[in-house]
Amino acid sequence: MSIINKLIEIETEPKINIYNITSQIQDFIASASIKNGQVLVFSQHTTTALSINENEVRLLEDIKIFLQKLAPESDSYLHNDLHLRDVPEDEPINAHSHLMAMMLTTSEIIPIVDGKLALGTWQSVLFFELDGPRQRTVFVQISGE
């Protein structure tokens, strides 16, 4: 069995944004010549997340609105009391982003069958930026043969 790793770099836009990274993962699988196995997709940040869902524009807007209702940026959060914490000068006010990320997940494992992601018809691998703009990294690990 082979194990192959890759980092996907994503330059994100301000605030909450959702990026379809399915094709980048599929391209990596194709270049690795793995026919059957699995792929682990892992977000390396505390204010980002991953999900497998439908990549439809109006649904993506609904998801953003839903997340903002769960953790409104305007609410008061202890994490945002920067004067009470030892933080870098450029530390953002972002407790709401951490809370949104906790409602999602940091990783997904997807089967690889015949060299392709075994996703359903409407499924895509979605990367959630919850505190942009930033340079983000997604770790991808393929294992299989």
pLDDT tens-digit series, residues 55-108: 999 999 999 999 999 999 999 999 999 999 999 998 999 999 999 999 999 999
Domains in the chain: ranges and CATH? 17-73+93-144 (2.60.120.460)
Tell me the pLDDT of the chain averaged across its residues: 97
pLDDT of 48 reads 98
For the chain, counts of helices (H) and of strands (E):
3, 8
pLDDT of 44 reads 98
Q: What are phi and psi of 70, to 5 degrees?
A: -65, -40
Which residues is 119 bridged to in the sheet?
none
In this structure, which amino acid lies at residue 83? H
Number of Cβ within 10 Å of residue 59's Cβ equals 13
Above pLDDT 90, what percent of the chain? Answer: 98
Burial of 40 (0-12, 13-18, 19+ CB in 10 A): middle
Out of 10-24, 79-93, 106-120, which region has the weakest mean confidence (pLDDT)?
Answer: 79-93
